[in-house]
Amino acid sequence: MRNEELTWQFIAEHREDDVRELALKQKQKHNGQKQYPQDNVDIAFALQQIQGWQRARHKLPTISQIAGWLYPPSLSLEQCSSELTARHKTEVLSVLCRQLPANSTLIDLTGGMGIDTYFLSDLFSHTLYIERQPELAELARNNFTLTGKSIEVKNAEAEDVLTSIEHVGCIYCDPARRSSAGGKVFRLSDCTPDLTTLYPLLAQKADLLMFKLSPMLDLTEALRTLTDAVQVDIVAVRGEVKELLVVCQPAAADATQIQVRAINLGTTQPTFSFNLNLTHAQQTYATGVSRYIYEPNAALMKAGCFDAIAEHYNIVQLARDSHLYTSDTLVNDFPGRIFLTEAIADKHTIKGQTFSVISRNHPLSADRIRQRYHLRQSDQHFLIATSLHTSTSHTPILISATRIK
């Protein structure tokens, strides 16, 4: 019979070990047979918990310190929000919740591992966690009990819950982005639940709606479905876009006032905010390369607010599709990488030199440029392959530069 105390003791003793090597050692101890010698230890459960904790200590540092927290299989842990992004959602809702009635309820329609529920629940007097997979719901029930949080857990389909509830303060939804065959999807109609059909009912059931969506999703497509959107956060973590966070207020939305914010968590880069429907003057482009070159971070690239960036920071785009900027005066707080221009490079003199290559709006890819000119890798010296805007076309150029930020 498996002993729970011995199993947790095994987990504690081996949680720093390599999980694959640990599993292999247990099999080898029993002469290669596919069973484990520790009859009193649930070794499969122990290995899952060790692997889960090892991943959580980086992604979920607060959660990883809670004794007895149960971790699901690796796929659920991979798909759950990180602590950084979960805390960001809490900050967003903490401001918007001031508009809600006292004693408001939060419903998380797609609970999963329960990370977002765990952090968001602090803002509400009552929280209902919904999860369609019974195994995940049972883990969440155990974990929420450990923390003393008053979170009601229900194993049910999101659609069934929606039809039966009264109006609440806030509904949070993170649609599952896996097809029935297990492949990754990102379009709203391919996710579960399907927001393209469910949104009208959602809009009737809550004062405030928050959606976590795939970073691959086109923002225009999202807003075509989520018609009451008032705020969109493009959330990156240390330069990698992790999610689109869309907030809707069905009773108070003004489609002409959608605030979009490009955020790079885990860095000191400032948040860039703009009105999605802001009109801009006729865009001008650089006639040459100035002293400094700017490359927007991933969140800004996803936002696609290239004219707004130029206006806000008083810098000039090199060309319409280059998404690079230049100026004579340093804009030190620019949210992205900054380079000091060294020279317009001559293709005959760069051969065999040491560069890291960036290619934006240039006929050749970065890999093709490295191969053609036999370039060696550098972390500090860059060759920027791009184009300058002319009245009739774009002129390809190569710029040697040094990264200063």
Handedness of CA 13, 16, 19, 25 (dihedral sign): negative
Tell me, what's the pLDDT at 270?
94
Handedness of CA 309, 312, 313, 319 (dihedral sign): positive
For 298-313, the pLDDT digits (tens) are 999 999 889 889 999 9
Tell me, what's the pLDDT at 277?
63
Q: Are 161 and 109 in contact (CB under 8 A)?
A: yes
* C-alpha dihedral (28, 33, 37, 38), degrees to nearest 10: 100
169: how many CB neighbours lie within 10 A of its CB? 23
C-alpha distances (whole Å) from 358 to each of 220, 339, 364 are 28, 12, 10
Tell me, what's the pLDDT at 37?
47
Tell me, what's the pLDDT at 119?
97
SS3 state at 291:
coil
How far apart, in whole angstroms, are the C-alpha atoms of residue 380 and residue 345?
16
Residues 6+ apart with CB under 8 A from 32: none
- Give the helix ranges, DSSP H, for 4-70: 4-14, 19-28, 43-59, 61-64
78: how many CB neighbours lie within 10 A of its CB? 11
Tell me, what's the pLDDT at 365?
95
Structure letter (DSSP) for residue 404 = -
Tell me, what's the pLDDT at 278?
47
Cβ burial, residue 80 (10 Å; 0-12/13-18/19+): buried
How far apart, in whole angstroms, are the C-alpha atoms of residue 324 and residue 339?
11
Can you spell out the DSSP letters for 253-284? Answer: --TT--EEEEEEETS-PPPEEEETT---PPP-
Instruction: Give me 326's structure tokens.
Output: 């230049």
Tell me, what's the pLDDT at 39?
60
Tell me, what's the pLDDT at 177?
87
Per-residue pLDDT of the chain (405 residues; tens, 9 = 90+): 457 888 888 899 998 999 888 888 766 655 555 444 456 888 889 999 999 999 999 999 999 999 999 999 888 888 899 999 999 999 999 999 888 888 999 999 999 999 999 999 999 999 999 999 999 999 999 999 999 888 999 999 999 999 999 999 999 999 988 876 677 888 999 999 999 999 999 999 999 999 999 999 998 889 999 999 999 999 999 999 999 999 999 987 555 679 999 999 999 999 999 988 644 455 788 989 999 999 999 999 999 889 889 999 999 999 888 899 999 999 999 999 999 999 999 888 899 999 999 999 999 999 999 999 999 998 889 999 999 987 666 789 999 999 999
Tell me, what's the pLDDT at 76?
85
How far apart, in whole angstroms, are the C-alpha atoms of residue 302 and residue 236?
10
Tell me, what's the pLDDT at 400?
95
Instruction: Give me 373's structure tokens.
Output: 């000119």
Cis peptide before 193 (omega within 30 of 0): yes
SS3 state at 326:
strand
